[in-house]
Amino acid sequence: MKRKYIWLLVITGFLVALDQLIKVYVHTHFHLGESVIVIPNFFNLTYVRNFGAAFGFLAESHPSFRELFFLSMPPIALLIILGILRGVKDSDTKQIIALSSIFGGAIGNYIDRIRFRYVIDFLDFHLYNRWSWPAFNVADMAIVGGVGLLLLLMFLENKEHKKNKLKEEGAG
């Protein structure tokens, strides 16, 4: 088996296991809306059910549309990620890690969608309960981290490409 697929399996397995273990704990030990202060005026563990996507996007849409959308899109996204990964060199560890993180996060949230028709969120950051970031979970962190790493890699690659192009023009 190619190295990149081993990375995919290991990272995905770890992220899904961690995400689901914490979600099971929150789901079975917290009441909906219950909050435990971890860092006063900054961070709580709060049981939230997210029927939408990031920031509650589409949460208020018709349930039939929402369920169809959220049950059909992740498999499509996972196939796209596998297609992209197929073209990535085995030696491009950073890109493999980024894609694997997105893949693992997508599976973690998809499991919730299949089981509950919503995603369990619990990481609740706020400043003095005035300014609040929408609650999220480990799978969300993996997706955002993976996308962030991909964007950084693309930015650095573009910067390197421009630098090489200037060198070539200067030498020519």
Q: For residues 161 and 67, what is the distance between their CA atoms, to the nearest angstrom?
A: 43
Exactly one of 19, 112, 121, 124 is catalytic; which is it? 121
| Calpha distance 88→108 (Å, rounded) | 23
Give catalytic status of residue 124 as yes or no. Answer: no
Instruction: Return the number of other C-beta atoms located less than 10 Å from residue 19's C-beta.
Output: 24
Q: Would you call 37 helix, strand, or coil by DSSP? A: strand
Q: Please name the residues in contact with 88: beta carbons below 8 A apart, sequence gap of 6 or more.
A: 4, 95, 96, 99
Q: Which residues contact 140 (CB under 8 A, 6 or more apart)?
A: 54, 105, 109, 121
To the query of whether residue 140 is one of the catalytic residues in this protein, the response is: yes
Catalytic, out of 19, 112, 124, 140: 140
Report, as residue numbers or ranges, the catalytic residues.
121, 140
